[in-house]
Structure 1
Amino acid sequence: MSLNTHHVTVTDGEKDITQAVQQAIDAVHAAGGGQVVLPRGQWVSKALKLKSFVDLHLPTGCELSCSTDYADYEAGKVSVIAEDSDRAFITARDQQGISISGSGTIHGHSDKWCGRDGLFEGTFWPKMLRPRIVVFENCKDISLTGISIVEAPMWTIHLIACHQVKVESLRILNDMRMPNTDGVNFDSCTDASIFNCVIRAADDAVCVKTCRKEDESLNGPAERIIVSNSILSSKSCALKIGTETYQDVRDVLFTTCTITESNRAFGIFSRDGGDIERIRFSNCTVQCEQTPDGFWGSGEAITINALPRVVGDVPGYVRDVAADGITGRAQGAINIVGHETQQIENITLSNIQLSLEAGKFPDAYYLDLRPSPHDVNLLDNPEQGRRNAWVKNEAGQILGLEPYPNGLPGLWLDQANNITCNDVVIHRPATLPKGWSEQETELGHVTNVCFSKPASSLSAV
């Protein structure tokens, strides 16, 4: 990239700087690359397109607000649909050497994207169509550093079929009641990393996935991804693989992270036929707490499952997964649950020290198997359900929440093969709360389970 620098200037009283910023990006790109520096102050913009070898720089004191009118994102249309939306604030397609940098802020004003007043199963009720903040498709040599993104209305950063990605020292601070506000989604990306970030999201903080894509040129595996030295909070899952798994996911490392005020800490969810393998969780501290039923999960440190999204489908396999050096506290069990058509295989749990505590929802010790076939829906009615989130039966109970056979255990294994537990210690209260299993570990349909230090008690069901 050249050293060409363009400082965006605005006239007195001007707040919408869309045209000025886009013209600067176009000019710097045409000149061979460089940096576009936004002015300090509070500004509003419609959709922007980033181009090759351009660094969009937000200095200290710059707050760039996203328009709150969905029509203003017409120029930000992308090919991969998410939550029914095909639009985003900052987009790029088939570009290289692009970056967003600085210590300024992008503000998404998520409160303007609610469709109903109040909370429903613990979440706001979002409008049908909301933009993502950043969507890059088929780009390479990407750097996202330093900036803060607050109150995203939907997915914050969605990178699709991108390669050689660095996300460093970002702060993503979303409203913890706004659904679908994932922090960073690596979708069919390769050679990507997140380092030294702070991410708070009502949905997944970091997610590695392979979404359905109408443009087949964007299909491909997600592989060689590292997330490290970050602080993460999520009302869904802090570090997650899936649920969208239409292609393979492999060689992912989550390490040396601090997970606080989260529902689930680590999750792997196979649903759509893509295979998942060679996944590592290591040297992390976790604090997992139950959430209202509008969020998937029940305060688990580790959840791994392989289940069909649609009746009759077969999920891809999950194998060669290891969790090592995980410490902290949780309010739900470690769950490893496969399917009769696709067992989970070759899982190793090592050096795990967890304190299992009573949750604030004592009547909700359940195995959350969402997304299930019930959740593939178009519902938009608080009495029945919210699209692709939850569905109630006639009794008002949310479908996909299953009771454990004998109450809440510390570890639940079902439809799994070749499971090794090496120094796995789950501390439970001396007097077990109501709804808890007397057994620390419960086994369903499993084969070849090895405990290097025998669990205090086992129960086969």
Structure 2
Amino acid sequence: MNNWVKAAAVIGLMGFSTGIWAQGKLPVIQQTSFKKDSIYITKYGAVADGQTLNTQPINAAIEACNKKGGGVVVIPAGLWLSGPIVLKSNVNLHLKKGALLQFTKDFDQYQLVEGNWEGIPQMRNQSPISATNATNIAITGFGIIDGAGKAWRQVRKEKLTDSQWNEWVASGGVVSADGNSWYPSEQWMKASKMKNPGEITPDKTPEFYKSIKDFLRPNLIVLTKCKKILLEGVTFQNSAAWCLHPLMSEDLTVRNVTVINPWFAQNGDGIDVESCKNVLIENSRFDVGDDGLCIKSGRDEAGRKRGMPTENVIIRDCKVYHAHGGFVIGSEMSGGARNMWVSNCTFIGTDIGLRFKTTRGRGGIVENIYVNNIQMIDIPGEAILFDMYYMSVDPVALAGEKRELPKVETLPVTEATPQFRNFVVKNVVCNGAAKGIFIRGIPEMHVKDVRLENMVLQADKGIDCQEASGITFKNIKILSKQTNPVVDIINSDHLTFDKLEYKNNSELLFRVAGDRTKNINILNTDASKAKEKVQYEFGASEQNVTIK
């Protein structure tokens, strides 16, 4: 029985009743296949001196390979400086051992093009590597692709040491009036104060986009509306914005890659799989400045209009070091996300482990997500988080930063109301987190039908469940430093705690609050180990809690 069959069978048992899970029809991820014919970029005049711009020779080799029916374009060992490269159908761009493909810091080499950024159509600088409407393409080998991201990024002083900050300032650029941020240029700083300046709207002229060009950072790899893609073996690093961005593509395989960005790299995501179908990511390593393994499908009305969910995704045997989240869905998930299996992944020092985020206005349905065998250590935030109040800030507040709780109000349900439902997360061990489990829905649309099973979570705080329905916590061991309470429940219903373990002599096992809280069932749990079993607040009452 293959892994997809196992996943489908388990998820079927958990009650998922739609799509491939119920029907037993599993996605077949089509694989690439290339002619053995090889073309070396040196044949077209490429020079590995780190000084010569090789944009034209590399693109010429790709074009020639494509016209001959495909094959392998080889980048030999050496330091190859280049501007933007465009992949063509049936071409495998292969980097030999010792090959470093270094993209230029000269912004003039990158043309302004119509693209998509954070889920909406925007003008961007052309990506270092891109492809559109291509079929059967690959980037493989053993070399390194470097996006020269340092030249493009804003940097916040508080994220650097004094010596690093002084080095950045001495390199040029502009420092903000308050002395807290460094920008690559005046136009970059000017654009940063605008709302979505790159968004494509009728009122903006070509001259306007040129005036903010420095701000419109390119993603390192953008593959749009492509089919049969392979990324294998290569190290992708130092991207100006997101590193790997497959968009509206099908049959994507990512295997044995390494993705590296500085931890302070703003928007320095590892991989953002957006509105894609049939995806396999395996045996890969991420150490980045924003989310590591991220699923997206467009933002707000633009994403709903596109109407392309990311679906049929396998992620397995991956490691994520620094990142805002290890495995992430959202927050731009307005086209939906469904049918995913994530297994055997390790998160080491990610701000949050499993991070599912959205906010009002997004719309979109995230459903049928199965996560199994996850190991985490040293998580500064939550080990597992479902949050429908995403606020577009770092998941862990910086020193001295103050944040306010969102205003709680009930709004009408519309197409802009997001939904999280039908999740199974099991076999998770976390050694060190600020909070074990945090679930926060919105009053008009709870987080629904989540099964959390077989976990050992060592954290400062235990379980926090707000505005949620149909959540099962089975065989969960919470080793929390703060035990007043171990479990905090606010305006949630139909929760089951089956075999909850916790520290002896905890101050309070459950705090139950809110007049909309009901049907809380506590099974196979020794509540006598706590000094106080249950405390009721703000309209909650004993008749809504059953301890058996």
**Equivalent residue number for residue 327 of structure 1:** 429
2:59 aligned residue: 22
Describe how 1:47-196 pairs up with structure 2 within 5 A. Answer: 47-74=84-111, 77-82=113-118, 86=124, 87-115=126-154, 118-119=157-158, 128-196=215-283
Gaps of 5+ in 1: 291-298, 358-408
Of 466, 472, 479, the residue aligned with 1:414 is 466
Gaps of 5+ in 2: 1-33, 162-179, 185-214, 393-408, 503-508, 514-548
Relative to structure 1, the CA distance from residue 300 to residue 24 in structure 2 (aligned partners, 3 Å threshold; closer, same or farther) is same
Is contact 2:128–2:147 with CA below 8 Å preserved after alignment?
no
SS of the residue corresponding to residue 114 of structure 1 reads coil
CA distance in 1, matches of 2:423, 2:35: 43
Residue 309 of structure 1: CA displacement? 7.3
Q: Equivalent residue of 1:284, what SS?
A: strand
Say which of 313, 318, 338 aligns to 1:230: 318
Post-superposition offset of 1:196? 0.4
Amino acid at match of 2:153: C
Q: Which residue of 1 aligns with 2:516?
A: none
What is the CA–CA distance in structure 2 between the aligned matches of 1:308 and 1:118, rounded to whole Å? Answer: 24
Deviations 1:305-364 (A, max 9, x none): 22487997743211111110000223222111100121111011100101114xxxxxxx
Is the Cα contact below 8 Å between 1:323 and 1:350 reproduced in 2?
A: yes
CA drift at 1:71: 2.9
Structure 1 contact 126–178 (Cα < 8 Å) conserved: no
Q: Report whether the alignment pairs 1:304 with 2:386.
A: yes
Q: 1:118 offset after TM fit, Å?
A: 2.9
Contact 1:278 1:321 survives alignment (8 Å): yes
Cα distance change, pair 301–85 in 1 and its aligned pair in 2 (3 A): farther
Change over 3 Å in CA distance of 1:25–1:253 after alignment to 2: same
Post-superposition shift, 1:117? 6.8
Is the alpha carbon distance of 1:66 and 1:219 closer, same or farther for their aligned partners in structure 2, counting shifts above 3 Å?
farther
User: SS state of the match for residue 20, structure 1?
Assistant: helix
Q: Which amino acid aligns with 1:113?
A: W
What CA distance in whole angstroms lies between the structure 2 residues aligned with 1:287 and 1:55?
37
Q: Is the CA contact (8 Å cut-off) linking 1:70 and 1:130 kept in structure 2? A: no
Following the alignment from structure 1 to structure 2, what is the Cα–Cα distance between the partners of residues 215 and 275?
A: 12
Offset of 1:110 from its aligned partner?
2.6
Whole-angstrom distance in 1 between the partners of 2:239 and 2:87: 19
Cα distance in 2, alignment partners of residues 215 and 420 from structure 1? 31
Q: CA RMSD in A?
A: 2.5
For 1:272-311, what aligned pairs fall within 5 Å after superposition? 272-290=362-380, 299-307=381-389
Show the counterpart of 1:315. 417
Instruction: Tell me how far 1:124 sits from its aligned partner.
Output: 7.2
Distance 1:116 1:439, change over 3 A: closer
Q: Distance in 1 between matches of 2:159 and 2:472?
A: 40
Contact 2:304 2:335 in 1 (8 A): no
Among the aligned pairs, what percent are the same residue? 24
Residues 214-257 of structure 1, C-alpha deviations (whole Å, 9 max, x = no match): 69996411101111101112331111000001211001111101
Q: Considering fraction of residues, name the structure with more strand.
A: 1
Q: 1:105 Cα shift?
A: 0.3
Q: Which residue of 2 aligns with 1:346?
A: 449
Provide the residue aligned with 2:350 in structure 1: 262
Query: How many angstroms apart in 2 are the aligned matches of 1:35 and 1:17?
Result: 18
* Alignment partners' CA distance in 1, 2:345 and 2:333: 24
Contact 1:288 1:301 in 2 (8 A): no
| Letter of the 1:230 counterpart | C
Secondary structure of the structure 2 residue equivalent to 1:234? coil
- How far apart, in 2, do the equivalents of 1:286 and 1:131 lie? 31
Residue number in structure 1 paired with 2:20? none
Distance in 1 between the 2:154 and 2:494 partners? 50
The match for 1:402 is none
Q: How many residues align?
A: 395
In the alignment, which residue of structure 1 is the partner of 2:212? Answer: none
